[in-house]
A and B are shown apart, each in its own frame.
Chain A
Amino acid sequence: DIVMTQSPDSLAVSLGERATINCKSSQSLLFSSNYKNYLAWYQQKPGQPPKLLIYWASARESGVPDRFSGSGSGTDFTLTISSLQAEDVAVYYCQQYHSIPFTFGPGTKVDLK
């Protein structure tokens, strides 16, 4: 199974400041045949299911604000919230869909400073 790790476990950011979350996979998520990275990012608020933010490592899901961006390739990926808003307080997960079983990172909790 592909193991996903995230850092930090949690972070506190002031309103309007940047938040950066890192995700690492135990093997490359890049398919050489199409040059796509099989990685997604989710946001989860209490009592709700995860919400898809980013897929293919950097493609923003429809309706997701452009302050959310994804980057990285191979085994190292980053989710950036460029200007944190109060409604962005949540836990964020990365997930690989390169191979079955699909696996998730342990999550990063983002709070307001």
Chain B
Amino acid sequence: QVQLQQSGPRLVKPSQTLSLTCAISGDSVSSNNATWNWIRQSPSRGLEWLGRTYYRSKWYTDYAVSVKSRMTINPDTSKNQFSLQLSSLTPEDSAAYYCARVPGVSGWHGFDFWGQGTLVTVSS
């Protein structure tokens, strides 16, 4: 059974960088049969896909245009996890952040396993 365990701060100051980690068990971040995603949810923006990383002979990342200039997703094969870094935070970035897996080699499928979520507040 795949499990995704998130860690990271819940309170971050404006202009700072958010760093979240998603530890994977029951699968591998290097799998050729999955992609690894970050999604956030807020009352104002609903569910918003932020980006993904995946390995197909080399590493790939895709980002939503809305966060592309501020976001980095990195895989860590030694710890079997992947991370999100989101810089230049504003209160509009306050949301519940989730990591999630998409199964399959193509990357086109629903999100079948989710992390527990991290409720992040951006406030001074």
Chain A interface (Cβ < 8 Å from any Cβ of B):
38, 40, 42, 48-52, 54-55, 61, 93, 95, 97-98, 100-104, 106-107
Flag if B49 contacts A103 (CB, 8 Å).
yes
Complex contacts, B32 vs chain A, CB 8 Å? none
Total A-B pairs in contact (CB under 8 Å)? 49
Flag if B116 contacts A97 (CB, 8 Å).
no
B112 contact from A48, A61, A95, Cβ within 8 A? A61
Number of interface residues of B (CB under 8 A): 19
Complex contacts, B48 vs chain A, CB 8 Å? 104
Chain A interface, DSSP helix/strand/loop, else mixed: loop
Q: Is B98 an interface residue (CB 8 A)?
A: yes
Chain B interface (Cβ < 8 Å from any Cβ of A):
46-49, 62, 64-65, 98, 100, 102, 108-112, 114-117
18 contacts between A and B (CB under 8 A): A40-B110, A42-B111, A48-B117, A49-B114, A50-B47, A50-B114, A52-B110, A52-B111, A52-B112, A61-B112, A97-B102, A100-B49, A100-B64, A101-B64, A101-B65, A103-B49, A104-B49, A107-B46
